[in-house]
Amino acid sequence: MATEVKVPTLGESVTEATVGAWLKKPGDAVALDEPICSLETDKVAVDVPSPVAGTLGQQLVKEGDTVNVGAVIAIIEAGGAAASPAPAAAAAPAKAEAAAPAPTASAPADEDDGEGGNLTLSPAVRRLVLEHGLDPSKIKGTGKDGRLTKDDVVAAVAAGTAKATAAPAASAAPAAAAAPSAPGRGEERVRMTRLRQTVAKRLKTAQETAALLTTFNDVDMSAVIEARAKYKDLFEKKHGVRLGFMGFFTKAVTMALRDVPGVNAQIEGDEIIYHDYADISVAVSAPNGLVVPVIRNAESMSVAQVEKTIGEFGRKAKDGTLTMEDMKGGTFTISNGGVFGSLMSTPIINTPQSAVLGLHRIEDRAVVRDGQIVIRPMMYLALSYDHRLIDGREAVTFLVAVKNAIEDPTRLLIDL
């Protein structure tokens, strides 16, 4: 008996998705609720679970195809191995993208069935494996169900522990030294993911519709670094999460938003919507790029609650389990480019929000304190905002409020 696998409901107002990767091959045994395919929506990647236990039969759509909610994408056969299925049919119930599917580099024949067991690689991971000549069976996966992530491959490259065995040279090769090969000029055409397409559209929309302006300030991180060093062990022991900088900045931002409510507002038509809550969008690194889940009602959270929430988002992003609800809404965004080494930037607002705070790397710089030149760990802050709604005075006031709270964290405790 055959069972159809259909595209599940993907969230409010989401009617279609792109097939990101097949996680099982035709003929593979699948368990009940085991993911067989990943779908990419405008915001998140979603795994499609098998509705029954059995064997994956025909795949009705290809990677890169666009599919509607409710469309049949595969067949699960009951019992043992299924007969070799036909290739994905051109008339499958899926709407193809206008552009042709991007060519994908072929994996080595033994890539999916190495000593490490049955490996399923996403297109991005497969590209990295091929580029660096790695044996994926020698890399420990940290993703969901032990799957390899881009971070796993990058770590293996750095460690140099997963090099694939080179193929033996052809016996007919001449003994004389071969002529040097020409420099490589290869190209690869890769379809943009649905997430990347959405990000591109929204960023361009922000540039075209908002009057973008960026105001800078800098902040002395000495006090926060000292507090973190003093209490990090006790904090982690009590709360089960490490004490980072984002907890301090999120609390500082929520206090500043209360003092300058226009920064937490948005324009809708000819009206301004002011929010009496702070839903803070935080940029989190995921295998397919940055995603922006939302810390809801951050103004009522403690530093520990903020850190726990961000930590959970990080784990879900790495495992590919962020949901549409995690990404929905947001009244203000914090983007920490400092973790990648950025010194300064002009971030673009996440529409329909009106402002975004960019954090950057901490570095020792010479500054003047009480008439003396001293070395302090300094960070540049950048506030990009929609000048239609927020004027320069409000932007500077907001940044100064954040700066004061970070340079004197006691303000966070006594609400100043």
Catalytic residue positions, numbered: 387, 391
Of how many residues is the chain composed?
416
User: 3 and 36 in contact (C-beta within 8 Å)?
Assistant: no
Q: Which amino acid is at 354?
A: S
| CA distance linking residue 298 with residue 196, whole number of Å | 27
For residue 293, which of 274, 270, 313 has the smallest C-alpha distance? 313
| Long-range Cβ contact pairs of 230-235 (< 8 A, separation 24 or more) | 235/304
Positive or negative: CA dihedral 55, 61, 67, 68: negative
Residue 359 in tokens: 């954090």
| CA distance linking residue 17 with residue 12, whole number of Å | 13
Q: How many CB atoms lie within 10 A of CB 399?
A: 22
One-character DSSP codes across 272-330: EE--SS--EEE-EEETTEEE--EETTGGG--HHHHHHHHHHHHHHHHHT---HHHHS--
User: 108 and 133 in contact (C-beta within 8 Å)?
Assistant: no
The DSSP secondary-structure symbol of 23 reads S
| CA distance linking residue 405 with residue 375, whole number of Å | 20
